[in-house]
Amino acid sequence: MRELYSWAWVEEQVAETIVVWNDCARRPWQGSPRFTPKEQRKREKAYDEGLRAVEREARKAPRTRAERLEAQRRTVAAFPRFAATALGLEGETVQLLSDGFLPAGTQFARWARRLDPTLSMADTIQACRNAWTACGLQPLLGEAMGLTPSIVGYSLLYPYSDNYLDDEKVSKAEKLEFSARFRERLCGRRLEVRNHREAAVWTMVQLIEEQYPRLSYPQVFECLRAIHRAQELSIAQLNNCGDCDNSEVLRISCAKGGTSVLADACLSHGWLGEEESRLAFEWGALLQLGDDLQDVREDLRRGSATLFSRAAATGKQLDNLAAQLLNLSERVADRMDRLPSGPAPLKELLRMSWRSLILMAVAGAQEFFSPSFLAELESSSPFRFDFQRARNKRLAGRQGLYAVLFEAFLEAGEGDKDGMLLLADGMGSSVEVEADPVLELVAAGSSWA
């Protein structure tokens, strides 16, 4: 059988994505929508009211299940008002968040905690963001939104494998050895577990195999092998950043991001058509470049090469690259709109979230942009940039409060009697995981915005 998602196919997609990226440099960004300072202050007030509601519940540290359920009810009851005013969302869009994405987040966190009680809140939230991407893809592919074993398994590979490969304390030799064994496991070979990390990673792969048998769903495992190879190549951005030019740096970022969301899409549906594959790949490249912008300061510190860190290292302002990225987000959204499946409110919510990701990254790295560009972008943000920076700084010191509420929400719901059997091969006996959603992953704090 022909391998659909071969590395040659990935390279073709990278080349096409780079053509789109370069075309975005030749177009002025329209900067829509616009917000007056008065509108921004109104939204900031609603934001702070929502934040205070979460903080009040966190300080109460509910002890009994009844108290935890009541804390959930009060927090979630405030969400529609917060979303309508602070985020400018209405009706069906608010319902998508409150009845779709937010319940999936808490359900994901509970499943993750049952699989590995030692998993940190930060790692759980990081993995949850990937699960939300997969959930956003499901309606676009004609599927109902909801977590599956394979989405949980793939999303949890991030804290176990991706973070390990990015860890500066781990030697290159150790990374290469782990990566080689991981590749063998993705190819279907049953390997004896050597340590806790391998036990966790092998378990996540098995979750995918249980839902998608290899012979029936070859595309799923082709995607997983593709993202693994892209991850291996991306290590070069940290270790050999002086040996490749900007075009190679861009190819590595597009391959890593594109194959990541391609895997999300394939795990959401089992197989993809040509247009769906193309959208997923461009979506992933967009998110990767957005992360690169968000991490520009940290990448400069550790010498990791991205388009943004390289430009910043030479003293260039990042105005043009950020505008190019905003144009790319609109191009990807236009491609998404052409898909026949998926409700219009979901597509608009995704378009807004991609734009917000970039605006928030610019707000957090103001020293790399010109004052005139910052002023232009700030008028397209629902919040003033100073406000965003202040709230992010405030939240950074309050993880203890959110950790209390995080734990309370995870423990609040009763399990579905049917449950979902998640096989914990190598980590212990099988684990019965509750399958009922319980509203929101409030530990993410201000990530609503």
Mean pLDDT to the nearest integer, 197-211: 94
pLDDT band at 57 (very low <50, low <70, confident <90, very high): confident
Phi then psi dihedrals of residue 168, to 5 deg: -65, -20
Q: Give the long-range contacts of residues 50-53, CB within 8 A, separation 24 or more.
A: 50/78, 50/79, 50/81, 50/82, 50/86, 50/448, 51/391, 51/445, 51/446, 53/78, 53/82
CA distance 104 to 139: 14
Report which of residues 276 and 172 the model is more confident about.
Answer: 276
Q: For 11-21, what is each residue's pLDDT tens digit?
A: 999 999 999 99
**H/E element holding 15?**
helix 7-24
Mean pLDDT to the nearest integer, 33-54: 89
The percent of residues above 70 in pLDDT, for the chain, comes to: 84
Which DSSP category does 432 fall into? E
CA distance 281 to 287: 10
CA distance 303 to 350: 32
How confident is the model at residue 7, as a pLDDT? 94
**H/E element holding 433?**
strand 431-433
Residue boundaries of the structural domains of the chain:
7-26+76-391
Superfamily for 7-26+76-391? Farnesyl Diphosphate Synthase (1.10.600.10)
Q: For 213-255, what is each residue's pLDDT tens digit?
A: 999 999 999 999 999 999 888 875 555 555 678 999 999 999 9
How confident is the model at residue 168, as a pLDDT? 77
How many residues are present in the chain? Answer: 449
How confident is the model at residue 3, as a pLDDT? 67
Comparing C-alpha atoms, which of 306, 334, 308, 303 is closest to residue 321?
Answer: 308
Q: For 179-193, what is each residue's pLDDT tens digit?
A: 999 999 999 999 999
Comparing C-alpha atoms, which of 210, 96, 197, 209 is closest to residue 156?
Answer: 197
How confident is the model at residue 393, as a pLDDT? 79
Report which of residues 248 and 173 the model is more confident about.
Answer: 248
Q: For 354-404, what is each residue's pLDDT tens digit?
A: 999 999 999 999 999 999 999 999 999 999 999 998 888 777 666 665 666
Q: For 256-286, what is each residue's pLDDT tens digit?
A: 999 999 999 999 999 999 999 999 999 999 9
Average per-residue pLDDT for the chain: 84
